[in-house]
Amino acid sequence: GAGVSQSPSNKVTEKGKDVELRCDPISGHTALYWYRQSLGQGLEFLIYFQGNSAPDKSGLPSDRFSAERTGGSVSTLTIQRTQQEDSAVYLCASSLAQRGEQFFGPGTRLTVL
Amino acid sequence: EDQVTQSPEALRLQEGESSSLNCSYTVSGLRGLFWYRQDPGKGPEFLFTLYSAGEEKEKERLKATLTKKESFLHITAPKPEDSATYLCAVQAGGSSNTGKLIFGQGTTLQVKP
């Protein structure tokens, strides 16, 4: 079946603008994660959704970052008033359950000028 | 604090030259240890999950092992197509943990023909 898909694959924006990144998880996967991979940094956790439970937002670096998951499927990560330090690859992953292998999408490369 | 350290940062091998990658971890109750492969410009690709000390898993030229403090990814007779960055991640246990993965910095492997 289809894997995790993300859009856009690349996004270039100007400092101060808002951006939205989209993730379509694998059908039937109830858990969805967002991670960020910066140059020279490992992958860092941002936010987690599981079914109808309250999301775990403990990894969001500032209040400029937010995410939602509609209908238990598609998720959108929003970054408001982007800064140059937000430049990174944003990766989405999904898993069948909370305790399970996570399968990653191809990522969205965000460049803030 | 949960932490993952991978070594070496980079590894160059000749085709057919076997070696091992190390992943040392400290975690408050290990739920699982995961190995991923990441090619440039792509998302991480799932390889293995290990759950308890003594467990081993194999896939083609790769074999992953786990102890209470570290995991090894053994590569036997590697080929140029095995060149990639290999990522190790842990998932902490406990009911309050949401399944997020804590990643190491990765080992970049280059296999020369």
**Average pLDDT, rounded, for chain A:** 93
Q: Which of B31, B36, B99 sits opposite A48 (nearest CB)?
A: B99
> Cα distance from A50 to chain B (closest Cα, Å)?
9
Token reading at A27? 């059908």
Which DSSP string corresponds to B22-80?
EEEEE-SSEEEEEEEEE-TTS--EEEEEE-STT-EEEETTEEEEE-SSEEEEEE-S--G
Q: Do A105 and B43 touch (CB under 8 A)?
A: yes
Average pLDDT score over residue span A66-93: 95
Residue B98 has pLDDT above 80, yes or no: no
Residue B109 has pLDDT above 70, yes or no: yes
Q: What is the CA radius of gyration of chain A?
A: 13
Which band of pLDDT confidence, cut at 50, 70 and 90, is reported for residue B49? Answer: very high
Handedness of CA B51, A99, B105, B4 (dihedral sign): negative
% of chain A residues with pLDDT over 90: 80
Average pLDDT score over residue span B62-79: 97
Check residue B113 and give its pLDDT.
96
Q: A56 — contact with chain B (CB < 8 Å)?
A: yes
> Phi/psi of residue B103, each to 5°?
-100, 150
Which band of pLDDT confidence, cut at 50, 70 and 90, is reported for residue A10? Answer: very high
Closest-CA residue of chain B to A33 = B100
Check residue B97 and give its pLDDT.
64
CB A29 within 8 A of CB A5: no
